[in-house]
Amino acid sequence: MANMDVQSLTEEIKKQSQFVDMILAESSKVIVGQKTLLERLLMALLCDGHVLLEGLPGLAKTLTIKTLADVIHADFQRIQFTPDLLPADLVGTMIFNQKTGEFTPKKGPIFTHLVLADEINRAPAKVQSALLEAMGEHQVTIGETTYPMQDPFIVLATQNPIEQEGTYPLPEAQLDRFLFKVKVGYPTQVEEKTILNRMSAVEPPKATKVCHPATILEGRKVCADIYMDEKLKDYILALVFATRFPEKAGMPELRQQIQVGASPRATIALAKASRANAFIHHRGFVSPEDVKSVAYDVLRHRILVTFEAEADGIDSEHIVKKILEHVEVP
């Protein structure tokens, strides 16, 4: 693509992506810090993807998602996953109407724009598989009828990293459905003082809407047009293939540490997320830094490490770091 084309595209992206700054600014009236989390949630909306959040309780995960829903004027539902949850509690069921003598569908809470699946790993496999259909196919079957989901529709699932008793670990096939796995950390001391002052007020701050879900859908179309050079596509492929065949990438020591590498879905996710990262930073082209900035969130849940690596304290993030350091940047 000629430089002039990239320049004109960047000018167009600057106009089309103005709502991003508005969303972040309005959300920051309620949320202190957590800029990376907010950006990842926005990018997931632009990529039509789902997000797995891992963090300790009390880190404003639910508040962040609820605030984002308020700001973009989207429907929001929070579902607390528990061991006794049934698929019907999630997707809905057929109810018998005594007056008409017929069964009518009663849709569940999953029929919304933003779904917060709180502590997803506490629900049994049947519930997780019902969620998987909605995530993967953007549809839900109740009785003999299939219903499409609203657009945009994204699942934001949380899991507690320290409490594993009585949980059902997510299968690899379902983990792979998530565009990002984002780790949420503690705020800094300065941020926490701001939180203390802000939440001690008689009326905690509330966010107001600055755009509509339709704005997100328009942004999604523009985001797909962002220019990505062929060398960057090859770079993404090199990163993913290094997780599968590290010895071919010149890292034979990783062969004993990786049990399963990233799937082709990871390649697509890296490309989409890199474009979305360029979009929220108002650029009409993807740079290597865009790929690097999303690589951890895209790959950390798609690489399975061996038992030996776990015993040595090596996790998937360590492997992603090694690959990013080793694979040549175009």
Q: Which of 200, 220, 240 is the last residue of a domain?
A: 220
Amino acid code (one letter) for 21: D
Same domain, 11 and 73: yes
Spell 73-94 as b/e; 16+ CB within 10 A means b.
ebebebbebeeebebebbbbee
- Bridge-based pairing state of the strands 258-260 and 102-107: unpaired
Range of the domain at 242: 226-326
CATH, residue 65: 3.40.50.300
CATH, residue 247: 1.10.8.80
Same domain, 66 and 167: yes
> Distance (Å, rounded) from C-alpha 90 to C-alpha 5?
47
Beta bridge partners of 305: 258
Same domain, 44 and 143: yes
Same domain, 182 and 244: no
Sites in the chain below the pLDDT cut of 70: 1-4, 162-168
Beta bridge partners of 115: 77, 155
Same domain, 151 and 210: yes
Residue 167: its pLDDT value, please?
64
Same domain, 241 and 206: no
Residue 196: its pLDDT value, please?
82
Find the radius of gyration of the CA atoms of the chain: 21
Task: Evaluate the CA torsion angle 46, 293, 320, 159 in order and state its sign.
Answer: negative
Amino acid code (one letter) for 153: F
Say how many domains are in the chain: 2
Residue 276: its pLDDT value, please?
93
Same domain, 211 and 242: no
With H, G, I as helix, E, B as strand and everything else as coil, classify residue 321.
helix
Same domain, 13 and 126: yes
pLDDT tens per residue across span 61-120: 888 888 888 888 888 888 888 888 888 888 888 888 788 878 877 888 888 889 898 888
Q: Which of 161, 195, 220 is the last residue of a domain?
A: 220
